[in-house]
Structure 1
Amino acid sequence: MSELGRTLRRWRDRADPADSGLPTGRARRAAGLRREELAGLAGISVDYVVRLEQGRAASPSGQVLAALARALRLSEDERRHLFLLGGRALPDGGRLPSRLSPGVRRLLEQLAGTPVSVYDAAWTLLEWNPLFAALMGDPSPLRGRERNVLWQHFTGRPTRVRHTAEQAARFEVAAVADLRAATAHYPSDPGLHGLVAELSQRSPVFRQLWEEGTVGRHTMDTKTVDHPEVGAIVLDCDVLVAPDSDLRVVLYTAAPGTDAAEKLALLGVVGIQPLWA
């Protein structure tokens, strides 16, 4: 059995049939997908699944690998590993992932009392919940570069977040380091390389940090948000990285009983304001 075959078998055994709408119950001898079920979900023959798992089909096409990845509900990292084992280049050409996983989407839906936003690996805003829009201003009118945090910061776009000099320097180092890592992970993404080129042209600070190869990382910090209705709010800001998609999930929280917590609660009543209000 080849490594590709062993890996496919492991992923098939761990798959939950219910996730694909298949029946479950005592009649099943194994918890995972049967070969015929995987074949049906992927649109290939049962014989071909057998030959792949036994190592007798060593060069599956990119279309077959993509179908198997969908059928097995693989994460982005697992999908990348599958194509590597199959000896094929990823069909996305190494582009930034921007699809929210079900778990990340549930965070947005269930954390109604916490401002939550989701960004791709280059810090372009993808999704947000209503309380984030109430806190920061409605970002829905923004398009393209305007939704990128680095573009906003290094080109001087107005924002409700107030940084001290120390916070700004720390943010800049971490953000540029994240962008550098993104260019290494997704070398064929044209928008990513265009962003670096334009920022280098527009911002001397960015250009210097980029050329120096500065290394840093995002950690928990405090953010002061100047809101037009409730005034200044000091919040804890945590950045989580979704391991299955390389997305950045940012949460703004306040300790219970604090002035900031009361103001967050008020924002749920005040509602969403225009971004630059």
Structure 2
Amino acid sequence: MDSELATVLRVWRDRTTPEQVGLPVNGPRRVSGLRREELAMLAGVSMEYVTRLEQGRAEAPSASVLTALARALQLDDDEQAHLFTLAGHAAPGRTRVLRQVPASVRRLTEQLGANPVAVADAGWGLLLWNEPWAALFGDLSAARGRRRNVAWRRFADGARGGITHLDEDAFERGLVADLRTALGRYPDDEELRSMVGDLRASSPRFAALWQQNRVGVHRGSRKTIDHPQVGRLTVDCDVLTADRGDLKVIVYTAPAGSEAAGKLDLLRVLGRQDLTGDRTR
């Protein structure tokens, strides 16, 4: 791994204080910045992996790990782009999907923090999510690759995870039309093209919808979720598209004063405790 990547990670960790990221400071510290174990916790990786990265002994991290590190270190857009470049991920061009989350979009998710919020790339690969989202759907930190992709989980895994949509057919049609639009917009993105090809081969439902040649942008739906802690609730899912890179900001809400809103409030208190599996499919 490039030694410069190891160096900048150490420098950025040293400059990031616990106060900046909302961590408590209990007693005197030998360093003013984050400890390795604190960065690991914030980024959802092991401390051993952070150590290997900073010592130049680890393989180059994936785009999802880089995004998590950038979020934990509160990097701005230029710093995040530099981080991706050092790790061997070329800055996405016009014909490839952006898999970085700009600082401005990260700030937006933080400001919407009372609601479950996630960010996906143009091909529906989940890049980040907040605590209310993890409490509602389960934490995907341990998931890798396509296991974080909404379309793959829907059509290839074949499970619903306790989620039903007000109109299942419209949801699936909209998702496939959105993927076709993304592939047309980013024709050189091998990861997206490969996933679509594998979905066409493995899912008769996806293949049938793909053959309809529909294009469009999926903007949201209503979902009913059977949650193991708070029971059944119905929420509105709105998909906002960021101008830069067609990133999708996915926000879940319920009418003020409704039973569902009360259950979302309860989940914010309960957090992710005692959750069994995820319900994102």
Give SS of 1:245's match: helix
Tell me the distance in 1 between the aligned counterparts of 2:243 and 2:94: 20
Pair 212,131 (structure 1): closer, same or farther in 2 beyond 3 Å: same
Partner of 2:207: 207
Partner of 2:99: 98
Q: CA deviation at 1:261?
A: 0.8
Q: What is the one-letter code of the residue matched to 1:188?
A: D
Partner of 2:231: 231
Displacement over 6 Å in runs of 4+: none
Contact 1:100–1:245 (CA under 8 A) maintained in structure 2: no
Partner of 1:145: 146
- 1:218-270: CA deviation from partner (whole Å, max 9, x where unpaired): 23431111110000111111110001221011100011111011100100111
- 1:172-207: CA deviation from partner (whole Å, max 9, x where unpaired): 111111111111111111111110110001111111
Is 2:134 aligned against 1:120?
no
Tell me the distance in 2 between the aligned counterparts of 1:181 and 1:162: 24
**Higher Rg of the two aligned structures:** 1
Contact 1:116–1:132 (CA under 8 A) maintained in structure 2: yes
Q: CA deviation at 1:217?
A: 3.4
Tell me the distance in 2 between the aligned counterparts of 1:176 and 1:221: 14
Q: How do 1:80-91 residues align onto structure 2 when only pairs under 5 Å count? A: none
Q: What is the one-letter code of the residue matched to 1:255?
A: P
Partner of 1:107: 108
Partner of 2:176: 176
Q: CA deviation at 1:103?
A: 2.1
Pair 103,211 (structure 1): closer, same or farther in 2 beyond 3 Å: same
- 1:16-35: CA deviation from partner (whole Å, max 9, x where unpaired): xxxxxxxxxxxxxxxxxxxx
Partner of 2:188: 188
Pair 120,249 (structure 1): closer, same or farther in 2 beyond 3 Å: same
Q: How do 1:29-44 residues align onto structure 2 when only pairs under 5 Å count? A: none
Tell me the distance in 1 between the aligned counterparts of 2:277 and 2:101: 24
Q: What is the one-letter code of the residue matched to 1:160?
A: G
Q: What is the one-letter code of the residue matched to 1:159?
A: G
Give the fraction of aligned pairs with identical amino acids, expressed as a percent: 45
Tell me the distance in 2 between the aligned counterparts of 1:191 and 1:168: 26
TM-score (norm 2): 0.63
Contact 1:183–1:192 (CA under 8 A) maintained in structure 2: yes
TM-score (norm 1): 0.64
Partner of 1:9: none
Partner of 1:32: none
> Which deviates more from structure 2 when the two are superposed, residues 185-194 or residues 266-275?
266-275
Tell me the distance in 2 between the aligned counterparts of 1:222 and 1:173: 15
Give SS of 1:209's match: helix
Tell me the distance in 1 between the aligned counterparts of 2:159 and 2:199: 13
